[in-house]
Structure 1
Amino acid sequence: MVGFDEFVVGRSPRLLRLAYLLTGDHAHAEDLLQTALARSWSAWRRIAEDPEPYVRRVLVNTYNSWWRRRWNAERPTAVLPDRVLDSPQSGVDDRDEVWRALGRLPDQQRAVLVLRYFEDLTEAQIADVLGVSAGAVKGYAAKGLAKLRLDPTLLASSVLPEAPPGTERLGGVRDRIRSRRRQRLIAVGAACAVIVALVVGYALFPRAHAVVLPPTERRIAGFAEYADGHRVVAAAQGTYQHPVSFTWTPTTLDIEVLPICDGGLDIRMAVNFNGFPSNWVSCSGRGGTTFTLGPSDLARRGVKLGEPTAVTVTVDNMRTGGPGPAVGRMSLGIGERVPFDQYPFPARPARLAPLEPQTFGGSSYASVTLSAAGPHSVTVPWGAATILLCASRTPGILRVTVDGRPLKPQTWWDYQAGVHQIQLESADTSSGITAAVGSTVTVTVEAEKTSGDWYVSITPNVELHPDR
C-alpha cells in the first residue's frame, strides 16, 4: 500500500510529463497535476494499492474540463512577457523522433494510439472502426504506451523540462486539499439549507406542485410510430366484415406492410394498392408476417413518390382454406424505411447484459462463432445447407460475405439482441454462392455502427427437417 506523501514525492514527476504533454505549458502542467492529486486524496484509502491509474484518469478528466471552459484567445496586456524560444529545427527534430517511435510499434497498437490521441476517438468508437472489442482497444493502448515510454530515443529527448522537487509540490497539494475541505463544508451547508427550504415549502404548499407524467410513445392505429427501422406513416383500423381503406402518400418506395389482428386466429389479409392486388399477409394476434414490395412492384400498381395511393385490405380466408372469421378487428400499416443515421434509437441501458451466442443443432459439424471480441473470418465446409444465427447487443449492422459474395445485411434497431437466422442451401443459387458440396467457403463479418457485443454462429452441413 502506497502512502499519499510517498506517492506525491516519488511518482508525480512521471505524471507531470503527462500533464505537460496535455497542456504544452509547464506552469499549467504543474497546476493541473496538483489539482488532480488534491482530488485523488479523498479516495486514497480505496486506491492505495495501485493509485497511479486512478490519478492519471482524474488528471485527464480535469484537463478535459479545463479545455472546455477556458478561453484560449488573445488577452491584451501592457507588457509582453519574456519568452525563451527553441530553435526552429528543434521542433522538427522532436516531432520526427515521436513519429519514428510510433512507426516502430505493431500495426494494431499504432492504429489505436493514432485514433485515440490524434483523432480523439473514444474507446467504443475505436472498437467500432477496427472491429475489435473495447477491452482489446484498452490492451493495445496500454502496450503501445508502455513501449513508447521505454523507447530510447524518447527517453533521451529534452522536450520536457525537469520537474521541480517533489517536496515543494507536496506542500502545494496540501494547501489545495485544505481549500477543497473548506469548499465542501460550505457546499454541504448550502445544500442542507436548500433541502430544508424545499421540505418546508412542500409541506406548506402541497398543491402548488403539478404532477408531470412521462411522455407516452406515439401510436398510429395500434402501431408504434417507429419500430424495426421503419416509421409507420399511414395506417387504419377496421373489422373483419368490412374492407379497411386509407390513403398513403409515399416519400420512399422502401416499405413494409404491417398487420395486427384480434385474438389468436390465424387469418389472411389481402392488400390492394390503387385497386391492384399485391399480396396477402398472415396475421395472428398482435403480430404477423410482413411483406416488402420493391420499387418495380409498386410502380406496376400505380404507386409514385409524392402522389396519393389508395390502400385497401380485406380478410381473404383462413389459412386452412375455410371461411373468414365472423367477428374481429384488424389494422394495417405502411412502414417507410428510415436511414440508419436518422432513426430515433431508444435510450441506451445503463448496463448491457452479456450476449451469449446461440448455436443451431442437427449438424455433423460443430458450430463456429465469429464475434466482436474474436476473429471476424473463418473457413467452414460447404454442405447441403448452412445456418447462420446473428445477434447484436446494440443497434448496428452486420455485413456477412461468403467467399466474397455479400448476403443481405442484418440490422438491429434496439438493445433486445434479437437473433436473425440466415439459411443457405447449396441447391439455391439466388445467393450467388457457387461452391460445390464438400468444398470449403470463407465466411467474413464486418460490423458497422455497433457499440457492443455481437456474434455470428455458423453451423455447416445442417440436416434440414420439414418442421424447421
Structure 2
Amino acid sequence: MAAVVDEARTGRRRRVLTLVAGLLLAGTAVITTQLHREGEPGVAVPVVPHSTHRAGEYREGTLIVAKGAASAPEPVTIRYKPRFGAPVLFMECATDEGYPLGYRVAVAANGVPVFETPCNRLNPEIADWRGLVVGREAVVTVVVSSEAQVAGAEPPVVPPGLEVRVSIGEPVPVDEYPLPPRPPQLWSVEEQVALEDGEVLLRSDPTEPSRVQQVTAVLPEHGLYRFVTNAPGRVLLDFGGVVRTSGSWTYSGFVSVHKLPVGGGEVTITVRPENHRGDWALLLMR
C-alpha cells in the first residue's frame, strides 16, 4: 500500500457514522453524522471574489442566484448572469410520493454539455463549464431521462408527473456565508481518525486551522482518500496540480470519501483551507 514520506498515523477503522449521501462518482460516497449533503463544486474554485453580503437563500457554501422547474419530459431552462464562473447545481426529481431513484439529468450551459449525473445526487467532481462566460447571460438546461435498473434492460419511460427542480448556487467567501452558531464542544476529528483504516496524509494546525499544509506521498495507482472535519470552511485539495474542493458548512461531524484523482507514484499534496473554523484531517484509505 502507499507509503507516506512524512510521518503519518494509522488506525483501525470501525464505522460509526451513517451513510446519508449518494455517489459523487462510481464508488464515491459522502458520510456525515446528520442528514447532510456535501455541495462540492464540479470543478475547483481557487479564488472566490469578495462581494457585498446580500440577503437571500444560501446552501452548501453558495448563494442561490436562480431557480427553475419543469414537468418531465420538458427540460428545465434557466437564464442567469454568472458572476464567478463554475456554479453548483442542486437538482431534485420528485413525485407526489417522494424522490424516486432511477433517473439521470444531463446539464448543458449555452448548448455545451457540462455533466450527467443521477438526479437527487451531488454534482460530479469533473464538469465542463466552458460554455459559461462570466458577466454574460447564460442559458442552463437540465434534461431528465430514465436509466435501466438491470444491465441490458430497456430503461423505463419517464413518467409525466415527474417534476424536475433546479437551483443554481454560486460559491461565496466563507466569511460571507451565514454559518450556524459554534457549539460549546466540537465533534472529535482525532477520535474519528483513530477509527479509520488509513494513513494520515495531512492534518490541521491546532492553533491555525486555515494554515496551508503540504506533504509528499507515494500514492497507489487506484485508491480512495477521505477528508474529515468538524467545522465549516471550504478546503482546496491539490494533488500534484489536480484540485478538488471539499469542506463542510455546519459544525456536525463530516467525512467525505473520494477516488484519488492521480496516483501511481510520488505526488505533492497541498491542502489550502479557507477561513476554517475547526479541525480537519486528510487520509489515504487502505
Sort the TM-score into its range (normalised by shorter chain): 0.5 to 0.7
Deviations 1:118-170 (A, max 9, x none): xxxxxxxxxxxxxxxxxxxxxxxxxxxxxxxxxxxxxxxxxxxxxxxxxxxxx
Verify: 1:452 aligned to 2:278, yes or no. Answer: yes
| Contact 1:259/1:281 (8 A) holds in 2 | no
SS in structure 2 at match of 1:419? strand
| Contact 2:61/2:249 (8 A) holds in 1 | yes
Offset at residue 245 of structure 1 (A): 2.6
CA distance in 2, matches of 1:267, 1:273: 20
Offset at residue 322 of structure 1 (A): 0.9
SS in structure 2 at match of 1:269? strand
Structure 2 unpaired stretches of 5+: 1-54, 207-212
Could you say which structure has the higher helix fraction?
1
Among 69, 72, 83, the alignment partner of 1:240 is 72
Match of 1:309 in 2: 138
| Contact 1:255/1:293 (8 A) holds in 2 | no
Could you say which structure has the higher strand fraction?
2
Among 253, 258, 264, the alignment partner of 1:417 is 253
Give the 5 Å matches for 1:134-283. Answer: 225-262=57-94, 263-283=99-119
The 1:277/1:383 distance shift into structure 2, 3 A limit, reads closer
Amino acid paired to 2:117? V
Match of 2:165 in 1: 331
Verify: 1:388 aligned to 2:217, yes or no. Answer: no
Deviations 1:394-448 (A, max 9, x none): 123445566x767535333222232122433xxxxx648743xxxxx77665655
Among 164, 174, 177, the alignment partner of 1:343 is 177
Match of 1:123 in 2: none
| Contact 2:187/2:253 (8 A) holds in 1 | no
Aligned length: 214
Deviations 1:161-213 (A, max 9, x none): xxxxxxxxxxxxxxxxxxxxxxxxxxxxxxxxxxxxxxxxxxxxxxxxxxxxx
The 1:250/1:447 distance shift into structure 2, 3 A limit, reads closer
- Provide TM-score, normalisation by structure 2: 0.59
Offset at residue 294 of structure 1 (A): 4.8
Structure with more contact order per residue of length (Cα contacts < 8 Å, sep ≥ 6): 2
Structure 1 runs (4+) deviating above 6 angstroms are 376-379
CA distance in 1, matches of 2:235, 2:250: 14
Amino acid paired to 1:325? V
Select the structure of larger CA radius of gyration: 1
- Provide TM-score, normalisation by structure 1: 0.39
Amino acid paired to 1:383? P
Amino acid paired to 1:289? L
The CA RMSD measured in Å over matched residues stands at 3.6
Structure 1 unpaired stretches of 5+: 1-217, 220-224, 425-429, 436-440, 463-468
Offset at residue 290 of structure 1 (A): 1.7
CA distance in 1, matches of 2:217, 2:136: 49
| Contact 1:357/1:457 (8 A) holds in 2 | no
Offset at residue 271 of structure 1 (A): 3.0
